[in-house]
């Protein structure tokens, strides 16, 4: 996974706190699809600086947040204290810190598109979830990914790049785009049932009118809830 977020840990954490796509689009959709989380065991993948973690903890969830970068984990620990458990983890490796059938909901906000092969991780999440437990995730929309590719082969999984402005700092993110069929076939092969697929509207509060228009009218992120 990219070192980009850890290399700019403080800037990134500050940026996503109130940015339109994160605060008013992604987090509300993830929280809604996660459902009632009070008293439930939540596994958060890509917990970063703890922004979504804090919302989950405030809703009464018992959260284990995992991130690949120790600098981000340290920021999240400072933010959350004892209200959540935060650990470093490589999502390409077995999640040995999570017992089998121990998790009610896995949330993965804008993280799975940094993995080329979903198979091993989805198998691990299926193991970690209780029967009937849910995986809730968001990814960059496959349509947008296709538009940012070289458009020579829609059906392959390929690395693409995108420039972002993080509070005045231009950075380049690299992620894997995949066809729609690959998203859902991977879930079905891992033993999940598709429960919801959404392309939501942003919540009120996006300050930039042009950004608000983009979030309301173009394919930005794709949201899925899948059940074990």
**For residue 7, what pLDDT is reported?**
86
Please report whether residue 218 resides in a domain.
Answer: yes
Residue 24 has pLDDT above 80, yes or no: yes
Does the residue 17 lie in any domain?
A: yes
* Helical axes 119-128 vs 180-189, angle rounded to 10°: 40
Q: pLDDT over 90 for what percent of the chain? A: 93
The residues pairing with 226 across neighbouring beta strands, listed in sequence order, are: 135, 194
What pLDDT, on the 0 to 100 scale, is given for residue 167? 86
Residue 195 lies in a domain: yes
pLDDT at 215: 96
Look up residue 76 and give its two tokens. Answer: 């999240």
What is the rounded average pLDDT of the residues 185-203?
Answer: 97
In a domain? residue 130? yes
Assigned domain for 90 exists: yes
Q: Is residue 175 domain-resident?
A: no
**What pLDDT, on the 0 to 100 scale, is given for residue 5?**
87
- pLDDT for position 50: 96
Looking at the predicted structure, is the pLDDT value of residue 1 above 60?
A: no
User: What pLDDT sits at residue 2?
Assistant: 62
- Alpha-carbon distance 26 to 20, whole Å? 9
pTM of the predicted model, to two decimals?
A: 0.95
Contact 203, 28 (CB under 8 A): yes
Q: Give a yes or no: residue 132 inside a domain.
A: yes
How sure is the predictor about 134, in pLDDT bands with cuts at 50, 70 and 90? very high
Assigned token pair, 175: 């992620």
Q: Which tens digit of pLDDT belongs to each residue from 42-101?
A: 999 999 999 999 999 999 999 999 999 999 999 999 999 999 999 999 999 999 999 999
Q: What is the pLDDT of residues 33-42, one digit of tens each?
A: 999 999 999 9
Q: How many domains does the chain have?
A: 1
Q: What is the mean pLDDT of residues 163-171?
A: 91
Indicate which CATH number applies to the domain containing 119: 3.40.50.150
> pLDDT averaged over the chain?
96
For residue 186, what pLDDT band results from cuts at 50, 70 and 90? very high
Determine how β-strand 169-177 pairs with β-strand 158-166: antiparallel
Domain span at 11:
4-141+183-227
User: How far, in Å, CA of 213 to CA of 215, rounded?
Assistant: 6
Residue 152, domain member (yes or no): no
Asked if residue 149 lies in contact with residue 177, where contact means CB atoms within 8 angstroms, the answer is: yes
For the chain, percent of residues with pLDDT exceeding 70: 99
């Amino acid at each position: 996974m990219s070192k980009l977020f850890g290399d700019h840990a403080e800037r990134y954490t500050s940026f996503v706190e109130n940015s339109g796509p994160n605060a008013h689009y992604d987090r509300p959709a993830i929280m809604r699809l996660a459902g009632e989380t009070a008293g439930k065991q939540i596994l958060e993948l890509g917990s970063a600086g703890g922004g979504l973690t804090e919302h989950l903890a405030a809703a009464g969830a018992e959260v284990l947040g995992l991130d690949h970068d120790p600098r981000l984990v340290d920021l999240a620990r400072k933010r959350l204290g004892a209200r959540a458990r935060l650990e470093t983890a490589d999502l390409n490796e077995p999640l040995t810190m999570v017992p089998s059938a121990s998790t009610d909901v896995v949330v993965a906000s804008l993280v799975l598109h940094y993995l080329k092969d979903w198979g091993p991780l989805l198998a691990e999440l299926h193991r970690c979830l209780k029967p009937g437990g849910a995986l809730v995730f968001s990814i960059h929309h496959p349509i947008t990914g296709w538009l940012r590719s070289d458009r020579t082969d829609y059906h392959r999984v390929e690395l693409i790049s995108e420039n972002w402005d993080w509070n005045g700092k231009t950075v380049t993110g690299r992620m894997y785009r995949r066809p729609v069929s690959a998203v859902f076939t991977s879930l079905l092969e891992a033993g999940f049932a598709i429960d919801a697929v959404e392309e939501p509207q942003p919540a009120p509060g996006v300050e930039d009118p042009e950004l608000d228009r983009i979030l309301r009218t173009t394919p930005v992120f794709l949201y899925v809830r899948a059940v074990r």
